[in-house]
């Protein structure tokens, strides 16, 4: 009895309150999004808003159940839960139901469950368990490999279900790894790869190669701090380029600038290697490998883009990058979404007064594009409030994570924060045209039982760990 009372008083009631407010606002906005005059009661269970109320009630029961489970369960059984989840992800590939082209649902009676919404929890648990193991440190290749496996196996299985959006969510765990000490250079490298990928789609290859060379020279300067070396290296490259260019013009070889530049680079690289060995200049070879890697990567982007992404995914990326206009397809959706939000103005059109969101102009109104309804009916006031509440919520959760004595709890907490943040940033960013259309729900708002339950369980496991933080050892 003593322990139970302690538990209740140790709950972070502020987080619980924010959770309840978000869920309630979600329900009201789903009502507005699919409002139907014939079924005006918000409790009508034949409509989505009535159903969402059922999901919410069940979610609260589930949250309670999560709370009465013993705290050690989560760390002891983290791997088991993870294993079962992987099994379910495999099973859904075989026995699953296909909805909108994604084979990611189990149908049990009238209820459809999407295992990928729960796999995030299992992954966060397994990651927390692994990283909190005594003497595991994020600095050996073996650790990187295991961490990558824990994160990427479920992501890959979800990708196989053709649910790209949910698979991308796993990138969010990079935040956890950052907090737990992954080297900043690994992150920078990852960031560079992403930038390179985007640039390769927008810019001429020649420009990208020039930029990469510039970046390499800058890194070289940072590492060596000798202006003379940098100037010399640059001079060699310029001279060989000029000579090759002159030869090409003089002999009328008609070679393209690509060949001239790459040959000049190749020639200069040889000179660099010889000089660096002779004068013992550090990290030149490493930088050359890096440059070679980025050039190969640049040239392979087109191939990957054309062969590994599906047409609609290519289209979405092209539309966001402004390379393609598609006013009736993807762009249409984003445009509709922007019109809906924009037409809300400062204070909105008022509850149930939205016109854009009611015409089904905005697709997936009650699920992925629920933010449009908020924007249209509640205006900037509403969007500011909701976005602000989310940011505050994340801020609070980080605070809770940081006060944990056990590293398992802290790492798991960051898992929760990173997944929530990714969902919020991508979902809202998509409705205001800042990121490509990726179909993932807005946590606690979007219509649907699986996602609501998934996020609820995820959050309440964390709050449960927090409530007993004093019992757990570091």
C-beta of 129 vs 158, nearer to another protein: 129
Q: C-beta of 191: minimal distance to another protein in Å? A: 12
Q: What whole-number distance in Å separates Cα of residue 175 and Cα of residue 417?
A: 9
Region binding another protein by CB under 8 A among candidate stretches 74-82, 176-184, 195-203, 266-274:
176-184
305 binds another protein per the rule CB under 8 A: no
Sheet architecture: strand order including 102-108: 97-99, 102-108, 111-113
C-beta of 58 vs 97, nearer to another protein: 97
Name the β-bridge partners of 94. Answer: none
C-beta of 84 vs 174, nearer to another protein: 174
Which alpha helices (H) appear in 355-472, and where do they start and end? 370-402, 407-431, 449-467
C-beta of 73 vs 332, nearer to another protein: 332
Residues of the chain by 3-state class (helix, strand, coil), percent to 5 = 75, 5, 25
Q: C-beta of 262: minimal distance to another protein in Å? A: 36
Residue 268 is inside which H or E element, if any? helix 257-279
Which alpha helices (H) appear in 309-369, and where do they start and end? 311-320, 330-342
Residue span 319-348 as binding mask against another protein, x where in contact by CB under 8 A, dash where not: --------xx---x--x--xx-xxxxxx--
Q: C-beta of 399: minimal distance to another protein in Å? A: 9
Q: What is the SS3 assignment for 103?
A: strand
Q: What is the 3-state secondary structure (H, E, C) of 108-154?
A: ECCEEECCHHHHHHHHHHHHHHHHHCCCCCCCCHHHHHHHHHHHHHH
Under rule CB under 8 A, which residues in 233-252 are in contact with another protein?
none
Q: C-beta of 163: minimal distance to another protein in Å? A: 19
101 binds another protein per the rule CB under 8 A: no
Cα–Cα distance list, 333 to 211, 330, 369, 436 (Å): 35, 5, 10, 11
Name the β-bridge partners of 106. Answer: 113
User: Which one of residues 6, 17, 36, 300 is an interface residue with another protein (CB under 8 A)?
Assistant: 36
Q: For the purposes of burial, counting CB atoms within 10 Å of the CB of 142, is it exposed (0-12), middle (13-18) or buried (19 or more)?
A: exposed
358 binds another protein per the rule CB under 8 A: yes
Residue span 375-404 as binding mask against another protein, x where in contact by CB under 8 A, dash where not: x---xx--xx--xx-xx--xx--x---x--
# residues near another protein by CB under 8 A: 50
Name the β-bridge partners of 102. Answer: 99
Q: C-beta of 339: minimal distance to another protein in Å? A: 5
Contact 314, 343 (CB under 8 A): no
C-beta of 229 vs 365, nearer to another protein: 365
Binding site for another protein (CB under 8 A): 36-38, 175, 178-181, 327-328, 332, 335, 338-339, 341-346, 355-356, 358-361, 375, 379-380, 383-384, 387-388, 390-391, 394-395, 398, 402, 407, 410, 414, 417, 421, 425, 428-429, 432, 434, 474
């Amino acid at each position: 009895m003593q322990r139970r009372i302690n538990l209740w008083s140790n709950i972070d009631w502020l987080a619980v309150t924010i959770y309840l407010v978000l869920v309630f606002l979600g329900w009201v906005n789903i009502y507005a999004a699919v409002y139907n005059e014939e079924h005006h009661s918000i409790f009508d269970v034949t409509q989505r808003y009535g159903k969402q109320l059922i999901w919410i009630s069940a979610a609260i029961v589930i949250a309670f159940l999560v709370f009465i489970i013993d705290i050690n369960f989560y760390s002891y059984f983290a791997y088991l839960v993870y294993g079962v989840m992987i099994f379910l992800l495999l099973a859904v590939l075989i026995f699953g139901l296909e909805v909108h082209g994604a084979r990611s649902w189990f149908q049990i009676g009238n209820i459809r469950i999407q295992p990928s919404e729960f796999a995030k929890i299992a992954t966060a648990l397994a990651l927390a368990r692994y990283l909190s193991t005594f003497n595991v440190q994020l600095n050996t290749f073996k650790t990187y490999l295991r961490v990558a496996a824990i994160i990427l196996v479920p992501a890959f299985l979800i990708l196989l279900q053709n649910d790209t959006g949910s698979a991308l969510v796993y990138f969010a765990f990079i935040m956890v790894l950052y907090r737990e000490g992954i080297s900043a250079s690994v992150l920078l490298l990852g960031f560079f790869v992403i930038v390179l990928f985007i640039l390769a789609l927008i810019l001429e290859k020649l420009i990208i190669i020039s930029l990469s060379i510039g970046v390499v020279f800058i890194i070289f300067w940072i590492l060596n701090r000798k202006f003379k070396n940098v100037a010399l290296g640059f001079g060699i490259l310029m001279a060989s380029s000029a000579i090759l260019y002159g030869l090409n013009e003089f002999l009328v070889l008609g070679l393209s600038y690509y060949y001239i530049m790459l040959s000049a680079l190749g020639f200069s690289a040889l000179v660099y290697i010889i000089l660096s060995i002779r004068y013992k200049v550090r990290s030149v070879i490493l930088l050359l490998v890096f440059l070679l890697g980025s050039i190969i990567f640049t040239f392979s982007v087109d191939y990957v883009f054309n062969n590994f992404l599906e047409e609609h995914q290519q289209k979405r990326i092209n539309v966001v990058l402004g390379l393609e206009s598609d006013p009736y397809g993807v762009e249409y959706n984003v445009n509709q979404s922007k019109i809906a939000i924009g037409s809300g103005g400062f204070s909105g059109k008022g509850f149930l007064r939205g016109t854009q969101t009611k015409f089904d102009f905005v697709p997936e109104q009650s699920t992925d594009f629920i933010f449009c309804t908020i924007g249209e009916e509640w205006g900037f006031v509403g969007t500011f409030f909701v976005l602000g509440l989310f940011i505050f919520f994340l801020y609070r959760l980080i605070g809770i994570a940081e006060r944990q004595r056990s590293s398992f709890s802290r790492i798991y907490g960051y898992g929760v924060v990173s997944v929530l943040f990714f969902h919020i940033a991508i979902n809202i960013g998509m409705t205001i045209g800042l990121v490509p259309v990726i179909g993932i729900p807005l946590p606690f708002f979007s219509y649907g039982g699986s996602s609501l339950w998934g996020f609820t369980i995820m959050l309440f496991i964390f709050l449960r760990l927090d409530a007993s933080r004093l019992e757990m050892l570091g």
